[in-house]
């Protein structure tokens, strides 16, 4: 088997890798600082489509983590890039928040509920029955169904919340149409992200805390993968999957010396 080339660029998940329940994970600030000092291309990724990259930059900075706006890549940005490639200047009916609507506006999309090219479903704090009903009817009338990410639940202080994947399942059942998911584990999110920073998969690594999204997407995009044990996946969970990460480490702090 050919020996892997040295890692020249890094992609890392956010929740469970850099922060946990709004608190930075020890070593995350040092890892990010070293990345910035090295001048190597890097991206912080998230499947959460609620926030814009500017929002996330500000939120992370308040936690003591300095990530430039241009180094943040969300499922909303990946979705917008995909739609811009597929149908430039199109129209969409959107269920989502500023992270998604801003990304679509920025590529010149018109948001409308009148015969849209696409129904685009993202994360929102308040899923509306009326909005879901409209989405079902538009899809049945011919709109193509896109979803930012397949996550079925999201975290909150009170416990798990239904996320875009769960709402997509409801709309799929009612409309008879499955969505195309643009976020992880679709390697599209990795490839579009790599393209934005001019990086190549053969010399890139993906850091994540989930086997079913981060590791799977990184592997399918041709990157080395690092699983950290500070998030949702334990060491005992790894053997339940038919694939393995390239490396398993306790936390992001263990990767500082690799940058």
State whether residue 153 is helix, strand or coil: strand
- Rounded Cα distance between 247 and 43, Å, is 19
**Residue 55 designated active-site:** no
Residue 212 CA to its chain's centroid (Å) = 13
Whether 209 is catalytic? no
**Active-site residue identified among 13, 117, 209, 214:** 13
Q: Could you identify the residue written with the tokens 């020249």?
A: 8
- In this structure, are residues 107 and 83 in contact, taking their beta carbons and an 8 Å threshold? yes
Identify whether the C-beta of residue 218 lies closer than 8 Å to the C-beta of residue 190.
yes
Q: Between vectors from CA 162 to CA 156 and to CA 168, what angle results, nearest 5°? A: 145
Place of tokens 């044990």: 229
Pick the closest to residue 25 from 259, 255, 244 (CA basis): 255
Identify whether the C-beta of residue 40 lies closer than 8 Å to the C-beta of residue 8: yes
DSSP 222: T
Q: Which residues are catalytic?
A: 13, 15
């Amino acid at each position: 088997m050919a020996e892997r080339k040295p890692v020249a660029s890094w992609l890392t998940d956010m929740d469970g890798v850099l922060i946990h329940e709004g608190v930075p994970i020890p070593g995350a600030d040092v890892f990010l600082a070293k990345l910035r000092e090295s001048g190597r291309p890097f991206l912080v990724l998230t499947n959460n489509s609620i926030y814009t990259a500017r929002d996330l930059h500000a939120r992370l900075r308040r936690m003591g983590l300095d990530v430039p706006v241009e180094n943040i890549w969300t499922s909303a940005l990946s979705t917008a890039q995909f739609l811009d490639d597929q149908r430039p200047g199109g129209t969409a009916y959107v269920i989502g928040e500023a992270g998604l609507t801003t990304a679509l506006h920025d590529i010149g999309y018109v948001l409308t509920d009148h015969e849209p090219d696409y129904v685009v479903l993202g994360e929102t704090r308040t899923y509306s029955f009326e909005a879901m009903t409209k989405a079902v009817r538009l899809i049945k009338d011919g709109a193509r169904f896109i979803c930012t990410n397949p996550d079925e639940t999201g975290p909150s202080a009170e416990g798990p919340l239904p996320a875009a994947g769960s709402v997509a399942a409801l709309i799929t059942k009612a409309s008879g149409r499955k969505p195309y998911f643009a976020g992880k584990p679709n390697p599209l999110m990795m490839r579009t992200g790599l393209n934005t920073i001019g990086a190549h998969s053969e010399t890139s690594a993906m850091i994540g805390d989930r086997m079913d999204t981060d590791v799977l997407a990184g592997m399918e995009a041709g990157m080395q993968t690092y699983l950290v044990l500070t998030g949702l996946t334990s060491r005992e969970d790894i053997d339940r999957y038919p694939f393995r990460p390239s490396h398993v480490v306790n936390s992001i702090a263990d990767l500082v010396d690799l940058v």
